[in-house]
Amino acid sequence: MRIMTRYCLRLEVVATAVLVGLVVASTALAFVALPSPLPRSPRYHQRLYDAAAPRPRREKPRPQRQQVQCLTKIPSGKDPYAAVKKQTAEATQDAINAGIKLIELEFPPVRGKLDISLGETLDANRSFARELARSFSARMGKALWLVFPDDAEAELAQNTYGGTTFRVVGINSAIKDLKDEECQMQIVVNPGFDVNEWIVLDSLVRPDVPMVMLNGNLDKLRGGYYPRIFFPGLYNAKERFLKKFETVYYLKALPGGWIFRRAPEDWQVVSAAQSEKRGQRAAESKVLSSTPDRPDYNTAVKTVQAARREAGKS
Q: Supply angle C-alpha 129, 264, 123, rounded to 5.
A: 15
Residue 82 near residue 276 (C-beta atoms within 8 A) = no
Stated pTM of the model: 0.74
- Would you state the pLDDT for residue 171? 94
Domain ranges of the chain: 80-255
Closest C-alpha among 264, 261, 237 to residue 251: 261
- Using one digit for the tens of pLDDT, what is the confidence trace for 17-26? 444 454 444 4
Closest C-alpha among 149, 246, 148, 145 to residue 186: 145
- Mean pLDDT score of the chain, rounded to an integer? 80
On the question of pLDDT at 60 being above 80, the answer is: no
Task: Give, as one character, the DSSP assignment of residue 256.
Answer: T
On the question of pLDDT at 59 being above 70, the answer is: no
Q: Which residues make Cβ contacts (< 8 Å) with residue 289, sequence separation at least 6?
A: 268, 269, 295, 303
| DSSP-derived pairing of the beta strands 102-106 and 280-291 | unpaired
- Would you state the pLDDT for residue 275? 64
Helix, strand, or coil (residue 206): strand
Residue 133 near residue 144 (C-beta atoms within 8 A) = yes
- Using one digit for the tens of pLDDT, what is the confidence trace for 110-157? 876 556 777 888 899 999 999 999 999 999 999 999 999 999 999 999
- The type of residue at 75 is P
- Would you state the pLDDT for residue 211? 97
133: left (phi over 0), alpha (psi -120 to 50) or beta: alpha
Q: Which residues make Cβ contacts (< 8 Å) with residue 250, sequence separation at least 6?
A: 104, 105, 106, 107, 259, 260, 261, 267
| CATH annotation of 80-255 | 3.40.50
* Whole-angstrom distance, CA of residue 280 vs CA of residue 293: 37
